[in-house]
Amino acid sequence: MNSIKNIAFFGLMGGALAIPKPATSQSHLKINYPADVGCGEVNVFYTGFPAHHQMVIDQGYNVTAVDISLRNEAANLIKAGFNVYVLFQGPDQPVSNIADRMAGTQWGIDAVGWDNLHQYRESAPLTPTVFNWGPDTLSESITRRVPLNEDCTNKPGKLLAYEEICDPTLCEKITVITNGSLEDLLKGPNA
């Protein structure tokens, strides 16, 4: 009856992060947010930097706090009824990882961090794009744009995956959760 709608969200770790903007602008993309959707009917794909990435450390962030925020925000989205796939990686990793994770699914909205934009467009050229400017605003920016049509208090979404890909020389620790456990997600880095 209800088809799953998909949103892809690129997170930029704080507006001040000195990452060059992609030459192309997202502004001409037509944004069609999913409407009239219920609990568990919207998949959110979210990417950005792993909290403990050296580039985030270099920007002076308290990466422990950033990490906690990012994991809490993913959990909040799930509690709000969204299904969430998180893939965090830095520019040291191949952007094709994103395409790999997005393959086979139709994504409804892109949210953009650093210069994944090109890859997102190749993977999902017509999906809307949303910018998110900080680790604390993910769930808010999505729930504001995609209000679900029912109360999901007892009908949370799913953690599709929380995947940080980072070389140990660049990230002291990462979080990888592929079995859907929110409890594990909230425990903190596990690798």
Residues that bind ligand NAG (CB under 6 A): 62, 64-65, 68, 179, 181, 184
Please, which residue, 169 or 179, has the CB nearer to ligand NAG? 179
* 42-48: strand order across its sheet: 110-112, 129-132, 5-11, 42-48, 83-89, 159-165, 176-177
For the bound state, the minimum distance from the C-beta of residue 190 to ligand NAG, rounded and expressed in Å, comes to 7
Please, which residue, 68 or 99, has the CB nearer to ligand NAG? 68
Q: Which residues have CB under 8 Å from 67's CB, separation 6+? A: 51, 52, 175, 188, 189
Please, which residue, 16 or 65, has the CB nearer to ligand NAG? 65
For the bound state, the minimum distance from the C-beta of residue 75 to ligand NAG, rounded and expressed in Å, comes to 14
Three-state DSSP class for 61? coil
For the bound state, the minimum distance from the C-beta of residue 72 to ligand NAG, rounded and expressed in Å, comes to 11
Please, which residue, 64 or 106, has the CB nearer to ligand NAG? 64
For the bound state, the minimum distance from the C-beta of residue 130 to ligand NAG, rounded and expressed in Å, comes to 26
Q: Which residues have CB under 8 Å from 28's CB, separation 6+? A: none
